[in-house]
Amino acid sequence: MHPFTAVLFTERFIAAYNAMAANGADDVLSIHIPESLSAVSKVARVAAQETSSTRVTLLDSGHLSLGTGFLVEKSAEMAAAGSSITEIVPVLEDPGKRS
């Protein structure tokens, strides 16, 4: 999915999480802009709780578009190198470990 700030329906997130599961994802890392700036992450959290096809971990990026994009890129690099979500999230949460 592409970045957005308009609130989507929970069903759209559930469909995206289920599609990722159908493509083989055992875990999904769902990165969002801060709740203080948009209700998107709150809706995503509800969808994650209602999704049973895969484990969904939500991360508040603490950033807007560009900063969030950097976190997405770092998480993709780490996942491609074989890191698990439990290894990726602490790196994304600690600015000193991102580079």
Q: Establish if 26 belongs to a structural domain.
A: yes
Judge contact between 8 and 40, C-beta under 8 A: yes
CA–CA gap between residue 55 and residue 17 (Å, rounded): 9
In percent, the amount of the chain with pLDDT more than 90 equals 65
Task: CATH number of the domain at 93, please.
Answer: 3.40.50.10170
pLDDT for the residue numbered 96: 67
Containing domain of residue 64, as a range? 10-97
Tell whether pTM > 0.95: no
Residue of 88, 83, 84 lying closest to 31 (CA atoms)? 88
Average pLDDT over residues 89-98: 81
Q: Which two tokens stand for residue 33?
A: 């802009």
Domains identified in the chain, total number: 1
Q: Establish if 1 belongs to a structural domain.
A: no
Q: Establish if 2 belongs to a structural domain.
A: no
The CA-CA-CA angle for residues 21, 26, 28, to 5°, reads: 75
Judge contact between 48 and 17, C-beta under 8 A: yes
